Amino acid sequence: MLAKIYKPVPSAMTSGRSKQNWILEFDKSLSATIDPLTGTKRSKNVMAQVNLEFKSRDEAITYAKMNNIPHRVIERQVVNRIKRSYADNFSFDRKVPWTH
């Protein structure tokens, strides 16, 4: 079963940087079936529910290699943040005048 190693992207709604750990996640697409009686998803594959967190990318890769887990690493794109403050909306150096 192929595992995916990635660093989660922070939410667009916050400016926090809490998602710093790397995650090793197993493939979930092969395991889910729909129960005909209740209509809920069920699975016999417990590994699809497992997410392991690591402090670094190298720790996650080492763990996967030691346990013979085929894996792929997905690099996160670096986001260039533009620091702005509320006061910038009213500055005299503003290129476009502020109006309603």
Residues counted in the chain: 100
pTM more than 0.85: no
- The Cα 2–Cα 64 span in angstroms is 10
* Tens digit of each residue's pLDDT (9 = 90 or more) over 66-78: 999 999 999 987 7
Least confident of 36-40, 84-88, 96-100: 96-100
User: 95 falls in which pLDDT band (50, 70, 90)?
Assistant: confident
At which residue do the structure tokens 């670096």 appear?
Answer: 78
What is the domain partition of the chain in residue ranges? Answer: 1-9+19-34+41-76
**41: how many CB neighbours lie within 10 A of its CB?**
10
- The Cα 74–Cα 90 span in angstroms is 41
Q: Which CATH number fits domain 1-9+19-34+41-76: 3.40.50.300, 3.40.250.10, 3.30.160.190, 2.60.40.3710?
A: 3.30.160.190
The confidence score (pLDDT) of residue 31 equals 66
* Tens digit of each residue's pLDDT (9 = 90 or more) over 33-51: 888 899 888 877 778 788 9
